[in-house]
């Protein structure tokens, strides 16, 4: 199974732990703040902010927290100045990595990201060293219990989606970034609950990893995800189900 799909499944299983650590809220507050700073405080005219606010509501973030994060972004309230920074690098077995972060201290963040990579036999790369291996896509993940496969496929394609695949217990719907919001609204109009809905970097091709490399890749992904400045990690690894089961065991 490819990196974006496999890691999405693993993250769903550990989401409760992340919530307990407060990691999820910290990520969302940063994303709401920088989205408001970059595109204004009205979600209707700021797609990035609208998506961040939707994710905050889905995570049961209090409305006051969302409002304050927006106000800090627009400058109505004092707050930390965050910046978007994207790092590229390689993990074990030549796996390509894109690490999207939001930070108030770029020097600190790059040093810590480099350290995490090196601990698991990875390395930081130069700008554009791996970006060409990925393309930006809208992705929505929906539990298969929401609708039968044929009906879901028809609804997705009629709404403007490019493709739909099935992975484990979910449907994965893919869109262009431009059609993402249209498809999302069409699904919401049918009261279809989405486990995840966002624009991500999807790899063009995958790299098979096994043995110790597979173990190190998963450890690296988790370590990066747990870093307080990291918002998203994208990778092009492919791990066989049997190998993954043995690692988890």
> Per-residue pLDDT for the chain (249 aa), expressed as one digit of tens each?
344 555 666 665 555 455 454 667 888 899 999 999 999 999 999 989 998 998 888 888 899 999 999 999 999 999 888 999 999 999 999 999 999 999 999 999 999 999 999 999 999 999 999 999 999 999 999 999 999 999 999 999 999 999 999 887 889 999 999 999 999 999 999 999 998 898 999 999 999 998 899 889 989 998 998 898 999 999 999 888 787 777 766
Helix 3-21 vs helix 23-39: angle between axes, to the nearest 10 degrees? 110
CATH assignment of 3-74? 1.10.10.200
Confidence at residue 123, expressed as pLDDT on a 0 to 100 scale? 95
**Segment 42-46 long-range contacts (CB within 8 Å, at least 24 positions apart):** none
Is 152 within 8 Å of 142 (Cβ atoms)?
yes
Q: Which class in CATH covers the domain with range 135-203?
A: alpha beta
Q: 84-132+204-239: what fold? A: Alpha-Beta Plaits (3.30.70)
Segments making up each domain of the chain, as ranges: 3-74, 84-132+204-239, 135-203
Judge whether 84-132+204-239 and 135-203 match in fold. Answer: yes
């Amino acid at each position: 199974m490819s990196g974006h799909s496999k890691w999405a499944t693993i993250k769903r299983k550990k989401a409760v732990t992340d919530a307990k650590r407060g990691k999820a809220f910290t990520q969302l507050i940063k994303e709401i703040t920088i989205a408001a700073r970059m595109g204004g405080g009205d979600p209707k005219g700021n797609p990035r902010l609208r998506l961040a606010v939707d994710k905050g509501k889905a995570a049961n973030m209090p409305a006051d927290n969302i409002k304050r994060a927006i106000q800090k972004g627009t400058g109505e309230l004092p707050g930390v100045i965050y910046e978007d920074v994207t790092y590229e690098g390689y993990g074990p077995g030549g796996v390509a990595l894109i690490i999207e972060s939001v930070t108030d201290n770029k020097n600190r963040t790059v040093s810590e990201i480099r350290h995490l990579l090196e601990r698991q036999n990875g390395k930081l790369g130069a700008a554009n060293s791996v970006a060409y291996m990925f393309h930006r896509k809208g992705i929505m993940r929906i539990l298969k219990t929401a609708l039968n496969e044929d009906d879901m496929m028809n609804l997705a394609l009629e709404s403007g989606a490019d493709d739909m695949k099935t992975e484990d217990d979910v449907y994965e719907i893919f869109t262009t970034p431009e059609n993402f919001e249209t498809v999302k609204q069409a699904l919401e109009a049918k009261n279809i609950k989405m486990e995840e809905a966002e624009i991500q970097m999807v790899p063009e091709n995958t790299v098979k990893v096994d043995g110790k490399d597979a173990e190190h890749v998963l450890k690296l992904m988790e370590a990066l995800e747990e870093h307080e400045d990291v918002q998203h990690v994208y990778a092009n690894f492919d791990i066989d189900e049997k190998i993954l089961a043995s690692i988890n065991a």
